[in-house]
Chain A
């Protein structure tokens, strides 16, 4: 339990929803430690009607402690904004108002007005880069008085790094299920064989003629929630790229071709490496297979997963 007083006005600002949720949970837990009957009300700013906020913030009969959370503050209509500004000018000490703002430019005037009342600000920065994810993992463990070494953190991010919520879940699982310091081996034991896979990895493996890897990656991608449509579009774009690059002379430098083909130079270099084994006939077979699979995942056939596997196998076999 913290020693500082619990704030009455909190502004959670930034794009990462997990961090905002944690801030809300933390404050609620602190309040409930004082008064277990503290009520929580959550509103989404995009659906709020005029008067709703005023009503939620009006004094209650028995003066009980309450928490009001308003999410997506940036979407609040201008008509409702005054209800918040009026309230923050004369707040009710029994209410904790938590405003969650995505940190975008929209709704800036309202933010300025709220900041005049000196809210407790909680930064919810996006966690996108690998280095940020590693730092997040370390902080998760440190928060529970535990340690994870660099390789362990690396392995965990590689295994479940797609979504911060999942990453947090994986961290808390490891914290609860294991003892002592955590290294790559421990992570491996819990997340063995799981690799974050995208449609592009499937496409690369298929175009390189690596059937086993392509099928396994495809299954991984589907199992980790990649939409089948994204997989067909990745396959299409991969084959499209080698088709385009294959039809121009190898002697032209990638940087000169980039503009003409609408591709980045690195894509051209990569496609040139991948081109071995591909010719006009095999490219035709491959594109036809992907087009058929795209129809299949959009309802032309009953089993999208089978259709994707068939497309991957056709692509690999087409390569001579």
Chain B
């Protein structure tokens, strides 16, 4: 019987089994030969984006804290999952990096005794964004943990972390959840109808959050469709240049749509904290500095999110050419973009498999270029022009 907190981990049966054994071992005060060595103080969750790395880590944290080993219903479980339990510290960054000062403070806090349970759990959601000095600072915390402390790190792959950190953690690899498991999740947990759930599961290519978004958000579906229409428009230089500019603008709009309400809410909360709307002479002194800092953070977050959206659309585009290549090579694997079957077929007949591979290369080159901070418009123009040539 799988504990309730682990049920949302779609298609990760092996990992869930290991975690359950660890939770059982941790809750047994007496050494039990069956679970001996199943628990340790530092874990590393890796897996492709959307496979649920941080969800797995948070569920594990909740199970460790919960007196019932993860019932998913008690106060402790609910607060842990929401990130407000005093003994579960969630380090999330929406900016581009986690700085060393943040980690130094964190290490001090991590050694405090837990307030209720047997553990104090620190979850670092984007351990790949640790700066090198921050990672080295973290090393000390992981190497000499307090007796209650459990570290849970999440990163896309092992290569994203320093070898010194890697070697001090027990590693769990999550896999891309299969389409069938995603579809089942959307139908059973989110109450989406079967056809839409199936479409979203396929289109998301195994990304849980994205599958939900496609299934529930009309605007996201439209954006994806807009991206997938681009390949047919790359007939001349002007079309390529326009397509690049359009993709940048559209993904900016899409990321702004997600982030604007958050920005707004944070600003209002901060202004309240500095006494906006209270009686007296307006904001307390120091408010404008705090607001400036918030705006700086928000800008860095917007940049990161915007990049993520752009990368996402490049992956969508790549999935389109993947489908083209499938048809060209006569493979019988199902298409990712079954809603675009006509367009895929059209391109598969008109072009060669060799050109399709060249186009996929151009898309991957553009993703690398964006990672190197090449001006996005320039990187995409180069990509679109290369796709046109094939």
Contact = CB atoms under 8 A, between A and B. Distances in A.
Given A287-B385, A290-B378, A300 B237 contact: no
B374 A294 contact: yes
Interface stretch (A97-105, A198-206, A217-225, A243-251): A243-251
B277 interface: no
Contacts of A248: 238
B94 to A, nearest CB: 23
Given A283-B385, A291-B382, A244 B238 contact: yes
B254 interface: no
Contacts of B385: 283-284, 287-288
Contacts of A300: 372
Contact of A288 (B241, B368, B373, B382): B382
13 contacts: A232-B375, A240-B377, A240-B381, A246-B238, A247-B236, A280-B236, A280-B388, A284-B386, A284-B388, A288-B386, A295-B372, A298-B372, A298-B373
Contacts of A283: 237, 385
Contact of B238 (A77, A247, A287, A295): A247
The main secondary structure of chain B at its interface with chain A is helix
The main secondary structure of chain A at its interface with chain B is helix
A236 interface: yes
Contacts of B388: 280, 284
A44 B378 CA distance: 40
Nearest to A247: B238
A302 to B, nearest CB: 13
Contact of A287 (B236, B285, B381): B381
Given A233-B378, A236-B377, A295-B372, 14 more contacts: A240-B381, A243-B381, A244-B238, A246-B237, A247-B239, A247-B241, A280-B236, A287-B385, A288-B385, A291-B369, A291-B381, A294-B375, A295-B374, A299-B372
Which 7 pairs between the two chains have the least Cβ-Cβ distance? Answer: A247-B238, A291-B382, A284-B385, A295-B372, A294-B374, A300-B372, A236-B378
Interface centre among A283, A288, A298 (most CB of B within 10 A): A288
Contacts of B237: 243, 246-247, 280, 283-284
Contacts of A284: 237, 385-386, 388-389
B378 A243 contact: no
A252 B381 CA distance: 25
Contacts, number: 70
Nearest to B366: A291
A55 interface: no
Contacts of A233: 375, 378
Interface centre among A290, A294, A299 (most CB of B within 10 A): A294
Contacts of A281: 389
A320 to B, nearest CB: 15
B379 interface: yes
A242 to B, nearest CB: 9
Interface in A290-309: 290-292, 294-295, 298-300
Contacts of A236: 375, 377-378, 381
Contacts of A79: 285
B39 to A, nearest CB: 42
B225 to A, nearest CB: 25
A295 B236 CA distance: 25
A298 B373 CA distance: 7
A80 to B, nearest CB: 11
